[in-house]
Amino acid sequence: MCGICCSVSFSVEHFCKGLKEDLLCRLKRRGPNSSHQLLRSHVNYQCLFSGHVLHLRGVLTAQPVEGGGGDVFLWNGEVFGGIKVEAEENDTQIVFDYLSSCKNESDIVSLFSKVQGPWSFIYYQASRHHLWFGRDFFGRRSLLWHFGKLGETLCLSSVGSQLSGVTSQWQEVPASGIYRLDLNSTSTSSCVALNLYPWKPLGGNLNTECVNNTLARISADLPPCVSVVADETQLYLKEPVSPLNMMLPQCPLEIPCRSQHCVQPTRETLEVFLTDEHRKAVVERFVDVLGTAVKKRVLCVPRSGHPPPRERLRTGEERARVAILFSGGIDSMVLAALADRHIPLHEPIDLLNVAFMTRARARTGAGSPDSKKGKQTSRCEIPSKDTSGNAGAAEGPDSRFSVPDRVTGRAGLEELRAANPSRVWNFVEINVSLEELQKLRRTQICHLVQPLDTVLDDSIGCAVWFASRGAGCLATQDGVKLYQSDAKVVLTGIGADELLAGYSRHRARFQTHGLDALNKEIEMELARISSRNLGRDDRVIGDHGKEARFPFLDENVVSFLNSLPIWEKANLTFPRGIGEKFILRLAAVKLGLRASALLPKRAMQFGSRIAKLEKRHEKASDKCSRLQVTSLEDLSAGKE
């Protein structure tokens, strides 16, 4: 995982000497192991490249990577398939080697059609004065763009600047394909014309009307001097996943849940479904495909190759290399169970469980005399460079943070311990006070969530930022101790709800309009996931020098689930706790999980109790005033 940036100037008067300090700082937080900058100047333009590396694979490869002909490459991604990368190799170098061997545009487009895994990239092709860039099909890695008012500058970056009046002008690069910019022609014209190479469905035709709509939608959000056009060669990338199976059953789905036994489902209820041989085979195949996706993501981390000595195992000094955003719900429990299969047994696994102070306690703490004495802070906070915390207060469980996800998280921990008592499961209780939330949102998080700006983005962005930071406490045999997760890889269950009808709106859609409407809702969910979730979460998790990995959005997992008819993935004639994410619940049973297999869907913002913590009557889709960015000048003036 890396922080990448390219600042382009098309006129001499706008040539820059370096990036703004705040932007450079945020890029370095994403890539703490190596930071370099490189300048490419031409009579008509100038490009400043900035690369910041979080080292996870092979030999540390500093970025920007330079080629013999003057080419420059910036890569923020992981190759998990499509092209061969050996265990000891660095995928940045491998992808650049492939790019260097490309003879024409068709070869470049073909290469990015093959790469499986999350990626964003910037590639300067010196011989042709072309700048290529883009994000993967799902947009799992952040890439933003910012254009000067008159088209005199362009900046591409993993994160945006925090200065007021600038951050709001950053936009996420649409994950609609890859883009090519002719730097020479742009510098001599008054218009920035971006050539788009769009994704084409596997086995389908490239719909001209659809492409034109995509071009119009992208261009509508850009300054008048910037346009996005289809490349005249009509080259395209092949979508990396199979199209969604829109098949409908020949007969209406049976509604079997009329008995009391089904109204209050048990694990045995799910086991009965697995007596059907076809369904059992489908579930076993799903476990295999998802398990392979998890395996790729938990083994591809730095390891010495040798287990630690028994002395270190006894003293508990071995540190986790993989963490999971963990609520104890079905998504995180299945990921934990599959990770347990593949992570070496001597390594702990960090389960990151976040809770926000319940509203009644927060209001009491914020307005009472005790708050002035520091009693509002968490009893499990860890001092860090971001917050002073309360280091002396790790005394035990705190009822102020007994939120739903904490309760289900502890129950899930016991299930995992029962399944594998030999594993060290670090259940990291991350408690966040209202005061700390407000402070770090203002100074850190709002700049990462931008350019997204809704109440929902605020809630999820803050929850994921605090969870992935991993600063909390552990309950051990010797008592409660402060803990900081060092794991560089963070697994998250994003994608499960979109693929498997996990949201309440899916049930409402099905009950109102039937299976065909449910299929279309899921198709829409997948089409918009890049703009709603993934760029934001990549920026938020990456701010800690950690990498987000999304097993449910592995290309093979999505293709397998897309190939199934809807009723084999979700059966919303069944009640909550069974019908949504039906196939995942059956997979949980196959993996030996019990109570967690029946937990209804609960959104992170509600399970952690951050939703409506500060304002009760706001809606998730409302613009969030708390995400408004304050300039450095305004902050300084406020201190005076």
Q: Average pLDDT for residues 409-428, to the nearest whole number?
A: 96
Share above pLDDT 70 across residues of the chain, in percent, rounded to a whole number: 86
Q: Which residues contact 175 (CB under 8 A, 6 or more apart)?
A: 134, 135, 136, 137, 138, 139, 530, 531
Whether 445 is covered by a domain: the verdict is yes
Is 2 one of the catalytic residues?
Answer: yes
95 and 143, same domain (yes or no): yes
Whether 142 is covered by a domain: the verdict is yes
User: Does pLDDT of 49 surpass 80?
Assistant: yes
User: Does pLDDT of 314 surpass 50?
Assistant: no
- 604 vs 384, residue with greater confidence: 604
59 and 127, same domain (yes or no): yes
CATH of the domain at 345: 3.40.50.620
The band of 394, judged by pLDDT with boundaries at 50, 70 and 90, is very low
Whether 91 is covered by a domain: the verdict is yes
Which tens digits make up the pLDDT trace of 320-348? 999 999 999 999 999 999 999 999 999 99
Residue 548 pLDDT: 97
Q: DSSP for 15-36?
A: --SS--HHHHHHHHHH-TTEEE
- 161 vs 381, residue with greater confidence: 161
By DSSP bridging, strand 46-53 and strand 322-325 are unpaired
User: Does pLDDT of 382 surpass 80?
Assistant: no
Q: Average pLDDT for residues 406-410, to the nearest whole number?
A: 95
Enter the tokens of residue 374: 């520091």
User: Does pLDDT of 93 surpass 50?
Assistant: yes
151 and 289, same domain (yes or no): no
- Other beta carbons within 10 angstroms of residue 203's beta carbon come to 9
154 and 281, same domain (yes or no): no
Name the residue among 620, 619, 577 with its Cα closest to residue 602. 577
Place of tokens 């050539």: 195
Name the residue among 4, 35, 135 with its Cα closest to residue 531. 135
Helix, strand, coil % (nearest 5) of the chain?
A: 40, 20, 40
User: Does pLDDT of 316 surpass 60?
Assistant: no
Is there a contact between 489 and 302 (Cβ–Cβ < 8 Å)? Answer: no
345 and 225, same domain (yes or no): no
Which tens digits make up the pLDDT trace of 223-280? 988 999 998 888 999 999 999 999 998 876 665 554 444 556 778 888 999 999 999 9
User: Where are the extended beta strands (E) located within 309-383?
Assistant: 322-325, 349-356
Whether 394 is covered by a domain: the verdict is no
The band of 397, judged by pLDDT with boundaries at 50, 70 and 90, is low
The band of 400, judged by pLDDT with boundaries at 50, 70 and 90, is confident
User: Does pLDDT of 639 surpass 70?
Assistant: no
d(C-alpha 27, C-alpha 493), whole Å:
25
174 and 28, same domain (yes or no): yes
- Residue ending a domain, choose from 184, 217, 238: 238
By DSSP bridging, strand 171-172 and strand 237-238 are unpaired
Which tens digits make up the pLDDT trace of 182-201? 998 887 777 889 999 999 98
Residue 234 pLDDT: 86
Is there a contact between 207 and 213 (Cβ–Cβ < 8 Å)? Answer: no
Q: Average pLDDT for residues 502-531, to the nearest whole number?
A: 94
Residue 613 pLDDT: 87
Angle at 509 between CA 553 and CA 206, to 5 degrees: 50
CA atoms within a 13 Å half-sphere pointing along the CA-CB vector of 211: 21
The band of 149, judged by pLDDT with boundaries at 50, 70 and 90, is confident
Residue 255 pLDDT: 57
Q: Average pLDDT for residues 146-153, to the nearest whole number?
A: 84
Enter the tokens of residue 474: 């552990």
The band of 88, judged by pLDDT with boundaries at 50, 70 and 90, is confident
Angle at 262 between CA 259 and CA 266, to 5 degrees: 145
- Residue ending a domain, choose from 238, 260, 293: 238
The band of 19, judged by pLDDT with boundaries at 50, 70 and 90, is confident
Q: Which domain holds residue 569?
A: 268-304+319-357+380-387+403-496+532-614
Which tens digits make up the pLDDT trace of 440-459? 999 999 999 999 999 999 99
Whether 506 is covered by a domain: the verdict is no
Is there a contact between 598 and 329 (Cβ–Cβ < 8 Å)? Answer: no
Whether 521 is covered by a domain: the verdict is no
How does the average pLDDT of the chain come out, rounded? 87
Q: Average pLDDT for residues 463-489, to the nearest whole number?
A: 94
204 and 293, same domain (yes or no): no
Q: From residue 259, give the alpha-carbon distance in Å to each of 202, 275, 439, 571.
A: 44, 20, 51, 17
CA atoms within a 13 Å half-sphere pointing along the CA-CB vector of 554: 25
Whether 622 is covered by a domain: the verdict is no
353 and 429, same domain (yes or no): yes
The band of 630, judged by pLDDT with boundaries at 50, 70 and 90, is low
- 174 vs 161, residue with greater confidence: 174
Residue 367 pLDDT: 39
Residue 312 pLDDT: 53
Residue 163 pLDDT: 57
Domain count for the chain? 2
Residue 208 pLDDT: 83
pLDDT-wise least confident of 357-361, 407-411, 416-420, 431-435: 357-361
Is there a contact between 556 and 302 (Cβ–Cβ < 8 Å)? Answer: no
User: Where are the extended beta strands (E) located within 282-424?
Assistant: 322-325, 349-356
Cis? peptide before 451, omega within 30° of 0: yes
88 and 225, same domain (yes or no): yes
Cis? peptide before 64, omega within 30° of 0: yes
557 and 599, same domain (yes or no): yes
Q: DSSP for 85-116?
A: --TTS-HHHHHHHHHHT--SHHHHHHHHHH-B
pLDDT-wise least confident of 356-370, 522-536, 568-582: 356-370
229 and 337, same domain (yes or no): no
233 and 272, same domain (yes or no): no
Whether 369 is covered by a domain: the verdict is no
User: Where are the extended beta strands (E) located within 163-219?
Assistant: 171-172, 177-182, 192-200
Q: Average pLDDT for residues 298-315, to the nearest whole number?
A: 65
Place of tokens 């591409």: 156
The band of 202, judged by pLDDT with boundaries at 50, 70 and 90, is confident
CATH of the domain at 208: 3.60.20.10
Q: Average pLDDT for residues 93-104, to the nearest whole number?
A: 95
State the DSSP code for 188.
T
Looking at 2, 47, 155, 300, which residue is catalytic?
A: 2
d(C-alpha 396, C-alpha 394), whole Å:
6
